Amino acid sequence: MSNADGTITWRQLHAEAVRRLTDGASGDPAQCETDARRIVERASGFEGADYVLGLDDAATERGVHFFDVMLGRRLTGEPLQYVVGRWGFRNLDLLVDKRVLIPRPETESVAGWAISELNLIRPEAVADERRLLAVDLGTGSGAIGLAIATECSRVDVWLTDESPDALAVAQANLTGIGGAGTSVRIGAGSWFDALPAELAGTVDVIVSNPPYVADDDELPPVVRDWEPGSALFAGIDGLDDLRVLVAGASEWLQPRGSLVLEMAPTQVEAVAELARSAGFVDVEIRPDLTGRNRGVIARRAHRNGD
């Protein structure tokens, strides 16, 4: 496939990737094209307009080796996100690998809801001359909490996880956000056990994308075989961790604080009822960008102080 002078261009490598992925994958041609582009982008270092302009450049020896390794991994069925090692989430470029769940578009919506809740509380915090406090429980890659830290001013953020591997990824991503990371702290432990006792009653927003897959649910092989099961499965009905979060949140939230949770569309009604039974007085079900119910927001008191 190389040229007469022994070189090979990125365009030729892109064509090779499309061909091999199409021959070896069960996915559609459009997905193979996307996968090929992301692999070549990562190997070449070209992105956006630079990618198009650089396609006819000769690939470096190191770049060709990186391309071969990534393409080989993708052909085994490994998720593209793990293969390229980075993935976008809102305004972030996150390190992702098999130690953490892959950030998904629906979770971007959850982060947005948490940010909106903080903005609702902000006037009161400004009047009280205090900083806002958000906690991302079971943070994984750090996606939600780091989005809050980079998109909200005057907010302190805690990232927690039970998995040391996940916290190592979150720490790497925290380092990558620069100055915004000075307001972020990391805690190790299961759910609320990871938080310092002195934070009880002071948190403005608790947000989480916890495990919510039922133990006997069928998952696509690309999820089941590659993503960490401890971040996916949560008991016979998938609600084990959601129950813990709803039951414990009030102890940690400010009187007008909010609990923001992601879950499966089939679980929202049950979780909303759990929140009402736990004493939350303002409970909303929210759809994701596809229109499917994806989250529950539960507030400790109405905004008007009732």
pLDDT computed for residue 7 by the predictor: 83
Determine what percent of the chain is predicted with pLDDT higher than 90: 82
pLDDT tens sequence across 103-159: 999 999 999 999 999 999 988 888 888 899 999 999 999 999 999 999 999 999 999
| CATH T-level assignment (fold) for domain 105-299 | Rossmann fold (3.40.50)
Check: CB of residue 254 under 8 Å from CB of residue 301: no
For the chain, give the mean pLDDT. Answer: 93
pLDDT computed for residue 29 by the predictor: 84
pLDDT tens sequence across 123-132: 888 888 889 9
Q: Which helix (H) or strand (E) holds 205?
A: strand 203-208
User: How long a stretch of residues is the chain?
Assistant: 306
Map tokens 């979770």 to a residue: 107
Radius of gyration of the chain (CA): 22
Segments making up each domain of the chain, as ranges: 10-77, 105-299
Q: Cα–Cα distance between 134 and 131 in angstroms, integer?
A: 10
- For the chain, the farthest-separated pair of C-alpha atoms sits apart, in whole angstroms, at 78
Under DSSP, the state recorded for 287 is E
Q: Which amino acid is at 276?
A: R
pLDDT tens sequence across 163-220: 999 999 999 999 999 999 999 999 999 999 999 999 999 999 999 999 999 998 999 9
pLDDT computed for residue 2 by the predictor: 57
Determine what percent of the chain is predicted with pLDDT higher than 70: 95
Q: Cα–Cα distance between 140 and 156 in angstroms, integer?
A: 18
Phi, psi of 54 (to 5 degrees): -95, 0
Q: Cα–Cα distance between 302 and 120 in angstroms, integer?
A: 11
Q: Cα–Cα distance between 260 and 209 in angstroms, integer?
A: 9
Q: Cα–Cα distance between 149 and 183 in angstroms, integer?
A: 7
Would you place residue 236 in the very low, low, confident or very high pLDDT band (cuts 50, 70, 90)?
very high
pLDDT tens sequence across 31-56: 899 999 999 999 999 988 888 888 99
pLDDT computed for residue 302 by the predictor: 55
Map tokens 């949140």 to a residue: 249
pLDDT computed for residue 143 by the predictor: 98
**Mean pLDDT along residues 3-19:** 85
